[in-house]
């Protein structure tokens, strides 16, 4: 099955980088390896942290990057997909690189790319390696795009790896069961490289342990710590080898973020000694983490907004549980736009119990995928929450805002495109998506 992983519609930079390449996923590492070899293997002498998982890998990546930056290092971060603009994928110390710089590097890649004919995502991964090398980073954090074993980021020789969790998503390419998907995720494990995981499912843990044993990777399971969860983030006391008992406050919201935080911090302990942060630097870095679109709370004169990219049943369940626990100002009205290839009933059912009302719409203002909402509203009526259908994305936001009132909360979720559309409509575009000022990066 062909899975699109191309540029976001309307993103001029992304469209200009590699305009002639196929946007469908092409599994395998050979093309990426050959392209990197042609370039002298960028980042081959740089310490790399590699993270995969179904949900939470972006949070772990951003925690790593923030702590390492607080420790005084120049940190590269490669993630996907973006919310608004391609430039979010390649950051140095939390800021995008100049568009002209990325376009120049893409032009430098033109001949080897024509020769190898990688997918668009593979070419972008190579571009990320080259850009971070040329930007002179001390350490790089790499997030798996999809799966793990055959994802193009899996050419790295990391200092540490992490697998956050494993649940059903992308079954059409990763396999029908969580065990199948776990085997794909475990493909990032490397001989002798410490690997940390927050996985709790016994079946998944069994698969990870077997794969780790096969390749000779020490696998450390990190239990979810106790802590408090509120609208301003999470607080916990972690037991560590490096820092002893350390008090941490992280602005990421949700009980699931406690597990992500614990995995990220424990994995940092495995880095070479010169990269180890002090206690104060660890606390500072954790307190400064930003993850746009991950239970992002915005208080405006019109009322409270919560924006979360939950796009599969597991992440929607985490969103629903977090809403119940933090109890934002009510009424709480959802705006949900889900891509046509996703589990609509599973996603809506997982979050509906935390809502007082729900507006179904298309996944983003430019999406053609709006017709399903009207067709499927009957099958979703068993959720027990009042459901309204509004094909116009802008009108759906406005309807939810009127429904919630200025004292209530509107929760926008269902896909990256849905949250991106809301951020743009509400003029809340994150700084990572904006062109950097002259001389930055």
The CATH number covering residue 49 comes to: 3.40.1190.10
- Asked whether residue 436 is domain-assigned, the answer is no
Q: Say what the pLDDT of residue 439 is.
A: 40
Question: Does 191 lie in the same domain as 118?
Answer: yes
Total domains, the chain? 2
Give the Cα separation of 341 and 354 in Å (integer).
24
Q: Say what the pLDDT of residue 441 is.
A: 41
Q: Say what the pLDDT of residue 175 is.
A: 58
Contact 225, 263 (CB under 8 A): no
Cis bond leading into 138, ω under 30°?
A: no
What domain range is 275 assigned to? Answer: 12-291
Question: Does 203 lie in the same domain as 119?
Answer: yes
Question: Does 409 lie in the same domain as 388?
Answer: yes
Give the Cα separation of 300 and 312 in Å (integer).
28
- Asked whether residue 430 is domain-assigned, the answer is no
Question: Does 348 lie in the same domain as 278?
Answer: no
Question: Does 304 lie in the same domain as 233?
Answer: no
Q: Say what the pLDDT of residue 5 is.
A: 62
Q: Kindly report the CA angle at 201 between 283 and 209, in degrees rounded to 5?
A: 85
Mean pLDDT in each 10-residue stretch from start to end of the chain (441 residues)? 62 86 78 96 96 92 98 97 93 96 95 92 96 98 88 95 79 68 91 95 92 96 96 96 96 95 97 96 97 94 95 90 95 92 85 94 76 56 80 94 97 94 94 73 41
Question: Does 108 lie in the same domain as 32?
Answer: yes
**Burial class (CB within 10 angstroms; exposed 0-12, middle 13-18, buried 19+) of 230:** exposed
Question: Does 308 lie in the same domain as 172?
Answer: no
Q: Say what the pLDDT of residue 176 is.
A: 57
Question: Does 301 lie in the same domain as 283?
Answer: no
Contact 209, 189 (CB under 8 A): no
Give the Cα separation of 349 and 382 in Å (integer).
9
Residues 6+ apart with CB under 8 A from 187: 147, 148, 149, 150, 151, 154, 211
Question: Which of residues 291, 315, 330 is at a domain's end?
Answer: 291
Question: Does 239 lie in the same domain as 109?
Answer: yes
Q: At what angle do helices 202-215 and 178-185 cross, to 10 degrees?
A: 30
Task: List Cα–Cα distances, 193 to 48, 79, 183, 239, 313, in angstroms.
Answer: 11, 21, 17, 22, 31
- Asked whether residue 75 is domain-assigned, the answer is yes
pTM (two decimals): 0.91
Give the Cα separation of 155 and 149 in Å (integer).
10
């Amino acid at each position: 099955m062909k899975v699109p992983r191309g540029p976001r519609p309307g993103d001029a930079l992304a469209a200009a980088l590699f305009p002639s390449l196929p946007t469908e996923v092409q599994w395998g590492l050979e093309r990426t390896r050959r392209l990197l070899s042609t370039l002298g293997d960028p980042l081959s002498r740089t310490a790399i942290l590699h993270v995969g998982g179904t949900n939470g890998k972006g949070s772990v990546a951003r925690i790593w990057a923030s702590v390492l930056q607080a420790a005084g290092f120049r940190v590269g971060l490669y993630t996907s997909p973006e919310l608004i603009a391609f430039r979010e994928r390649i950051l140095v110390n939390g800021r995008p690189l100049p568009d002209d710089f990325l376009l120049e590097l893409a032009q430098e890649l033109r001949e080897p790319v024509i020769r190898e004919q990688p997918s668009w995502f593979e070419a972008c991964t190579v571009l990320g390696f080259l850009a971070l090398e040329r930007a002179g980073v001390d350490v790089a954090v790499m997030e798996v795009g999809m799966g793990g074993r055959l994802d193009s980021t899996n050419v790295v020789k990391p200092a540490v790896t992490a697998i956050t969790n494993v649940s059903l998503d992308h079954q059409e390419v990763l396999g029908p069961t969580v065990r199948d998907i776990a085997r794909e995720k475990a493909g990032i494990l490397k001989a002798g490289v410490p690997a940390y995981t927050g996985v709790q499912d016994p079946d998944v843990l069994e698969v990870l342990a077997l794969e780790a044993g096969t390749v000779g990777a020490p696998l450390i399971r990190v239990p979810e710590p106790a802590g408090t969860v509120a609208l301003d983030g999470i607080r916990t006391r972690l037991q560590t080898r490096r820092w002893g008992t350390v008090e941490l406050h992280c602005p990421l919201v949700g009980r699931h973020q406690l597990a992500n935080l614990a995995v990220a911090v424990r994995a940092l302990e495995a880095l070479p000694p010169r990269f180890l942060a002090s206690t104060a630097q660890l606390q500072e870095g954790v307190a400064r983490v930003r993850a746009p679109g991950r239970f992002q709370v915005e208080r405006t004169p019109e009322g409270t907004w919560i924006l979360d990219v939950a796009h599969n049943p597991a992440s929607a369940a985490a969103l629903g549980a977090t809403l119940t626990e933090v109890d934002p100002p009510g009424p709480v009205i959802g705006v949900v736009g889900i891509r046509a290839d996703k589990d609509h009933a599973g996603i809506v059912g997982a979050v509906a119990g935390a809502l007082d009302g729900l507006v179904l719409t298309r996944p983003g203002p430019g999406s053609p995928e709006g017709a399903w909402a009207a067709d499927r509203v009957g099958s979703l009526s068993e959720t027990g929450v009042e459901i309204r259908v509004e094909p116009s994305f802008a009108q759906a936001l406005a309807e939810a805002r009127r429904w919630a009132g200025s004292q209530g909360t509107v929760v926008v979720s269902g896909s990256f495109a849905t949250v991106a559309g809301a951020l743009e409509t509400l003029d809340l575009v994150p700084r990572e998506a904006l062109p950097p000022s002259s001389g930055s990066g």
